[in-house]
Amino acid sequence: MDTIPYQQMVDEFHRVLIATGFTDDDAYTLAGVFAGNSRDGVPSHGLNRFPGFIEDVISGRVRIDARARADAALGAMEQWDGQRGPGVLNGLACMGRAIELAQQFTVGAVALRNTSHWMRAGTYGLQAADAGCIGICWTNTTKLMPAYGGLDKRLGNNPLVMAIPRPDGDHVLLDMAISQFSGGRTGTHKRSGEAFPVPGGYDAQGRLTTDAAAMERPLPIGHWKGSGLALCLDLVAALLSAGKTTTQVARQGNEAGVSQLYLAFDLSRVGDADTIAATVQDTLADLVSGEMVPGEQVSWPGQRSAEKRRAAARDGVPVELQFWEQVLAL
């Protein structure tokens, strides 16, 4: 695959963002997040999504001048209104505030309503982990998958993040849509034609399929379990933020004004840093040291994206050239 040096990608995104009307500060922040997502192996919410983000800003679907603001301070939790501003900037502000609350109360929560797409969910988990916090966050989405037993889409795939800091910065990072495959990964498989390693959903005949192009209805992880989990994540984010549920988002006809929850736990208030790091290391080392399925390799969540991050620093960020050329032309 072709590669572009990370800094060149940041600079190019920055150029486009300035031309679109962002301030210098916001342009650097956004450019770093989009380039970082590609660098970490999540191009579906990095380079590949960048042109669509610019389009959303130009069309006014994402309001360039709007920013999330605190509406209600409720102790260790706050409610914020995202005002349909850029989801990445809103997300960073809200996890940033959750971290501050955690520094004061050990646990801190910000519930955000009325925001736009936050791109890669893991961004905000890494933000918390970089600050020495456990970060947990999730978003709802519009209707993307049926409930267990249902035929039509009624649930969001509601990506969920859990991040646990490690001293070397290679944080444990779970970042998962509640569908077996995210929209981004489904798109990658559609373009490449490569089969999913396990069934990702149902085809038009209601059969489970590993063919992304034939998949009409994504499968929730664990069947009824993911179906229930997606529903609960949706309700919790919407109720705590006084925002829209998936049902209400979908009624608008386009995905806008979603609800999110950001939780941080400040580990420096909880225990000794060396003991915590040793406990994490002990478990990760144990996890990857067992007997493997032939041809498989056990890894901990975040391990592969940390490896990709290092490889990209050395070799450049892998890109699908069609997307890079789109950005150059913006």
Q: Contact between 214 and its own copies (CB under 8 A)? A: no
Contacts of 258 (CB under 8 A, 6+ apart): 115, 116, 117, 139, 140, 141, 142, 243, 244, 249
Task: Judge contact between 124 and 112, C-beta under 8 A.
Answer: no
Residue 25 vs 291, nearer CB to its own copies: 291
Residue 217, Cα to own-chain centre: how many angstroms? 21
Q: Contact between 274 and its own copies (CB under 8 A)? A: no
| Span 62-91, contacts to its own copies by CB under 8 A | 74-77, 79
CA distances from residue 42 to 118, 158, 262 in whole angstroms, order as listed: 13, 17, 21
Q: What are phi and psi of 57, to 5 degrees?
A: -70, -45
Window contacting its own copies (CB under 8 A); options: 19-27, 259-267, 305-313, 321-329: 259-267
| Span 14-53, contacts to its own copies by CB under 8 A | none
Structure tokens at 103: 């520094």
Task: Judge contact between 182 and 194, C-beta under 8 A.
Answer: no
Provide, rounded to whole angstroms, the least separation between the CB of residue 135 and its own copies. 10
Q: Which of 121, 229, 306, 319 binds its own copies (CB under 8 A)?
A: 229
Q: Contact between 264 and its own copies (CB under 8 A)? A: no
Asked if 223 is an active-site residue, the reply is no
Window contacting its own copies (CB under 8 A); options: 1-9, 19-27, 53-61, 226-234: 226-234
Provide, rounded to whole angstroms, the least separation between the CB of residue 318 and its own copies. 21
Q: CA-to-CA distance for 172 and 287, rounded, in angstroms?
A: 13
Place of tokens 């005002």: 83
Q: Enter the DSSP assignment of 25.
A: H
> Which member of 14, 45, 117, 171 is catalytic?
45
Q: Contact between 283 and its own copies (CB under 8 A)? A: yes
Q: Contact between 8 and its own copies (CB under 8 A)? A: no
Helices 6-20 and 50-59 pack at an angle, to 10 degrees, of: 10
| Span 86-115, contacts to its own copies by CB under 8 A | 104-109, 111
Structure tokens at 79: 């409610």
Q: Which of 52, 150, 167, 169 binds its own copies (CB under 8 A)?
A: 150
Window contacting its own copies (CB under 8 A); options: 7-15, 29-37, 115-123, 231-239: 231-239
| Span 295-324, contacts to its own copies by CB under 8 A | 296-301
Q: CA-to-CA distance for 296 and 235, rounded, in angstroms?
A: 37
Provide, rounded to whole angstroms, the least separation between the CB of residue 151 and its own copies. 4
Structure tokens at 155: 């649930």
| Span 161-190, contacts to its own copies by CB under 8 A | 162, 164, 172, 174, 176, 180
Q: Contact between 269 and its own copies (CB under 8 A)? A: yes
Q: CA-to-CA distance for 33 and 227, rounded, in angstroms?
A: 30
Q: Which residues are catalytic?
A: 45
